[in-house]
Amino acid sequence: MATKTAWGGRFEQELDAGAARFLESVSFDKRLAEEDIAGSLAHADMLASIGVLTEPDVAAIRRGLGAIRAEIRAGTFAWDAAKEDVHMNIESSLTAREGDVGARLHTGRSRNDQVATDMRLWARDACARVGRSLDRLALTLVTRADDEVDTLLPAYTHIQRAQPNRLAHHLMAWVEMFDRDHGRLHDCAMRMNESPLGSGAVCATTFPLDRALTANLLGFARPTRNSVDATADRDFLLELLAALAIASVHLSRIAEELVWWSTMEFGFIEMADAHATGSSMMPQKKNPDVAEVVRGKAGRVIGDLVALLVVLKGLPLGYNRDLQEDKAPVFDAVDTVRDAAEVLADAIGALSFRRDRMRAALGAGYVTATEVADWLAARGVPFRHAHEVAGRLVGRAIAKQCELAQLSLDEFREEHPTFDESIYTALDPETAVERRDIVGGPARKQVRAALADARARLEGRGAALARTVSATP
């Protein structure tokens, strides 16, 4: 069987049904309906301003597109795959409702600049939506950190206990990652904020379009500067996907720590029942599945970036139908990162910190060994020599199966005569943390300042703890 193509005139044969199914994009690009209608309304106003359309024409277009938008929002609009894409579905429906004025609306534009405009509008909004979800997660972390300023635990390098730390300081490290993610999305939105509308298929149009007017009506900063580039490139989507891939890696790293911390071996946290699952065989299990799936979905988002990179890498200028494949990875990555940020905010907001287990972990692993070296260095011993002395003392403690603070003062002095009783104060984890009183350090004063600064930044951007999304649109 064959399918009537949306484009007559040139073709004598109808489009093969299999080819039509393969080529259609309306099944996924219908998600651009709101943006497509907004672009058409701006285009209609501009055409009227240059005398191509009359005011009655614009009134009919507004009436028809308003009815179509209402049906789409209500879920009653009849999408037709034979019309290929969201643009032709809306245009043909408008023409059916309002007559030839619907056909005149396409004067001076192509589906090429139309879809490029739609995608910039959608992606610009997506940057803001994902940014809000990341900010909600960051504010959740700040709120939890506020309650844990006095909770101590080991910091880790190489997954080995390293130095004493404040839990709040650790949580604030996560906040910093998301602040940069938000910044990348903001920068991306600023760079993509140019209007391709009026670029036509590839070399603009003979009609005297007012591109600055449509750019302004759609909230763009300016029109794009080159019609070939405007319709043929999708680097603004690559930049968005790169920002989302980095954010997904950050989400995954946090999820990894939550998985580790929820094990019996660590026991630093307990996930709320609402964010854990059981085993179909082992009744004792409480699995941190939310964190695990967040971790797993990072691979998907990274794959979305790679997919679009590969689509674009061999394309000549200008527009090629391959660009139809830009939408699925972008839609998927935006949905995935936003959903992951929201569910992780919920899970972190509800979990319990095991302060006793965190504090107990400071009692093994020689986490204050650096304090020994610093103590000596502060008294004139070259740090590399002091480091060696501290290492020998750790060796003594290992041999005796005790901690550094359990060595006698004589044992300390056997390694270096400078030691006195004050070394034991330096070995206290609380003292060790408080002595790191520099910008970016874990001392209480510095952490409090970091919390206040982060909260001010987040709340200044409108961040709130209330859930910003209930389901993927």
Q: What is the model's pLDDT at position 172?
A: 98
Name the nearest CA neighbour of 341 among 447, 246, 460, 462.
246
- 100 vs 108: CA distance, rounded Å: 16
Q: What is the model's pLDDT at position 2?
A: 46
Which one of the listed residues 158, 280, 408, 470 is annotated catalytic? Answer: 158
Which one of the listed residues 27, 279, 352, 422 is annotated catalytic? Answer: 279
Tell me the domain boundaries of the chain: 10-107, 112-211+219-360
Top CATH class of 112-211+219-360 equals mainly alpha
Q: State how beta strands 222-223 and 194-195 pair.
A: parallel
Q: Are 330 and 304 in contact (CB under 8 A)?
A: yes
Q: Other CB atoms closer than 10 Å to residue 164's CB: what's the count?
A: 25
Question: For each of the chain's 473 residues, which pLDDT tens digit applies?
Answer: 445 455 556 667 787 788 878 878 899 999 999 999 999 999 999 999 999 999 999 999 999 999 999 999 999 999 999 999 999 999 999 999 999 999 999 999 999 999 999 999 999 999 999 999 999 999 999 999 999 999 999 999 999 999 999 999 999 999 999 999 999 999 999 999 999 999 999 999 999 999 999 999 999 999 999 999 999 999 999 999 999 999 999 999 999 999 999 999 999 999 999 998 888 888 888 999 999 999 999 999 999 999 999 999 999 999 999 899 999 999 999 999 999 999 999 999 999 999 999 999 999 999 999 999 999 999 999 999 999 999 999 999 999 999 999 999 999 999 999 999 999 999 999 999 999 999 999 999 999 999 999 999 999 999 999 987 654 44
Q: Are 142 and 172 in contact (CB under 8 A)?
A: yes
Q: What is the model's pLDDT at position 8?
A: 58
Top CATH class of 10-107 equals mainly alpha
Catalytic residue list contains 279: yes
Q: Which residues, other chains included, contact 244 with Cβ-Cβ below 8 Å and sequence gap of 6+?
A: 130, 301, 304, 305, 333, 334, 336, 337
| Verdict on whether the full-model pTM lies above 0.75 | yes
Helices (H), 211-288: 211-217, 227-232, 235-261
